[in-house]
Chain A
């Protein structure tokens, strides 16, 4: 138990350190941007005003409100303090909406779309990869090139192809959005039905791609394990094939869990772009709108929330990994 505590403590410490760095990067990078967003929002509001003093006053008012007139360090202090209160300031492009308000309405969509899609893709990919390694011959000959091909179709390309085939040509799926545009989100049966029908295309576009990538990884790992000495030895001992296969795939699975943790960030990136193609009301689409409108509190908050989600997922996977494979914990503690 002591070993576990040390392992988890170490992982938690690492999670906190990365979190701090992520927050700093999220704060500093968007503020290096050359253009002054406050002047652009003032310009919008003061359009047609001829009194220079009044424009100046509006500018200063917004500077005060967004805190851009204070030194960087003070701004950072405010940023961190507000972050803990879940307050990311006001959005520039959708002023006076709160950033946290915009995020709250899109995070749910992204998590509900990507988490199941990435997990389903991962599980399906591992099963297919393991089968390819075990069955070999025809199955492998077909599966490997197909997997390599689908693993290499960019997420946005898969999104466009699915959208054109099923949405535009076959007309069996809606073209855009997360629910029918004439509805207000609520918990009624017709609303859930439109959500499900809008969910299909984005979901499958992510699943198909992650299946390809995961299948290739699992196949190589399984082949490696199937050729290991312990497998040969077990065969000599006359242990049933089914039992051996069980052991082999459990061992091959382990690196795949790390693989999932590692590729989480990459997968999210691709899926964010897919969200934009489907105009899905998630973070990807919100971020795209924020980029177009040069809305840096919103961009910064989007990237921060995605980073925190990925870091958290990594942390949880590390914990799970430590529980499943005691060797990892032992190696880390030493």
Chain B
């Protein structure tokens, strides 16, 4: 036993998979401690807030000018402000006008705000009106010019409440984020319902792992029991079980899954129910392989000896047969868990996943993101982390499986 474990942990594939899996496990245990609360809490009113740190504007403006604000003279502060204020469409307009005016634009970097502004102010002329330019267009450039001038000459901001001046915010006033009462970090932004994606993702990973585990346990238990019975008892029992097994092997499991999920009413379709259904449609592999292994074991000497000693069927199976197929069953179980998680995700994407308002699953998150076309809007944070998590889970489980396979089947070793 000890040497087997040592061998397993010497396999680099197994260890890599194990570490990734362990990392995910630690995440789902530790993260809710740091950031407690329901993963489906809607904190944002809008949809798909970008990832980042959000500082309460109200609290920041209300900070005490004497104690909580610092004056910092940063040389590039003004440039940054201008660069941010100047939208891409404004830049395009400016370049357009300069081109019309006949200014040489060679070697000008449009993303360099300072240079572009300098060129603009040197050349802009509100009376310039080339042939064919409508006065509406001329006014558009005029407005742009006014806005640019306003940007550069902008003065202090005054915070007024009920006609009474609360404070004046100067351009080089800074506030320490730590002193602002409300700061929200959203490392993965929010989703279409305004939920914190990271928190939701952690909750979903946990539920999906549970779904996978339950599906794996159900599938392995059914498969193991049927495999042992049909392999060890043989005869008519074997014929019947093999008939059923073959039947379920050829009828596509996913289709069966769709049919069963569909026939369960949405209210009853919690994550556990879905997991049991998934397990119930994916046991055939385990049953077949356990049966063939048991058949090769059942006439071994030690089994015959047990039989002669009058041991009960259960005892023979548990002590003389199970230990020999244990490694195989564990490997099959790992694969069942991984395919269970995938099945849930696929079901959810077809709209047949667990209906739940309490816990999200990875498949449901994916389904929500797809229904709100996150992938076309470019809001990557709503779907990419989900895809990565599913892939990582199944990658790590399969790596562990391959590692175990190489330990137990020496012919596969490098």
Contacts and interface: CB of A to CB of B under 8 A. Distances in A.
B262 interface: yes
Contacts of B260: 29
A22 B387 CA distance: 33
Interface stretch (B88-96, B290-298, B319-327, B388-396): B388-396
Nearest to A164: B375
Contact of A156 (B249, B258, B366): B366
A220 B391 contact: no
Interface in A266-293: 266, 268-270, 272-273, 276-277, 284, 287-288, 291-292
**Counting chain B CB atoms within 10 Å of each CB, which of A26, A151, A303, A306 scores highest?**
A303
Contacts, number: 143
A32 B263 contact: yes
Contacts of B370: 160, 277
B345 A154 contact: yes
Given A156-B345, A163-B375, A311-B250, A291 B395 contact: no
B51 interface: no
Interface in A13-49: 14, 17-18, 21-22, 25-26, 29-35
A299 B262 contact: yes
Interface in A150-164: 151-157, 160-161, 163-164
B85 to A, nearest CB: 27
**Counting chain B CB atoms within 10 Å of each CB, which of A26, A31, A155, A164 scores highest?**
A164
A249 B376 CA distance: 44
A208 to B, nearest CB: 13
Contacts of A168: 375-376, 378
Contacts of A163: 375
Given A22-B251, A270-B346, A34 B265 contact: yes
Interface in B257-296: 257-260, 262-263, 265
Contact of B252 (A152, A266, A299): A266
Contacts of B247: 17-18, 21
Nearest to A309: B252
A224 interface: yes
**Counting chain A CB atoms within 10 Å of each CB, which of B349, B383, B395 scores highest?**
B349
A67 interface: no
Majority secondary structure, A binding face: helix
Interface in B355-414: 366, 370, 375-376, 378, 380, 383, 387, 390-391, 394-395, 398-399, 402, 405, 411-412, 414
B351 A288 contact: yes
Contact of B394 (A140, A152, A220, A277): A152
Contact of A160 (B257, B375, B402, B405): B375
Interface residues of A, number: 61
Given A29-B263, A152-B391, A160-B375, A292 B351 contact: yes
B342 interface: yes
Contacts of A177: none
B209 interface: no
Contact of A220 (B253, B387, B412): B412
Contacts of A224: 411-412
B246 interface: yes
B380 A136 contact: no
B262 A152 contact: no
Contact of B250 (A136, A152, A284, A314): A314
A311 B249 CA distance: 10
A281 B213 CA distance: 35
A131 interface: no
Given A154-B390, A164-B375, A287 B350 contact: yes
Nearest to A311: B250
B338 interface: yes
B350 A265 contact: no
Contacts of A256: none
Contacts of B375: 160, 163-164, 168
A273 B265 contact: no
A316 interface: no
A322 B398 CA distance: 32
Nearest to B339: A266
B254 interface: yes
Given A157-B387, A292-B351, A310-B250, 5 more contacts: A21-B251, A148-B402, A269-B255, A277-B349, A306-B252
Of all A-B residue pairs in the complex, the 9 with the closest CB atoms, nearest first, are: A269-B254, A265-B252, A29-B259, A32-B263, A157-B387, A152-B394, A34-B265, A152-B395, A291-B351
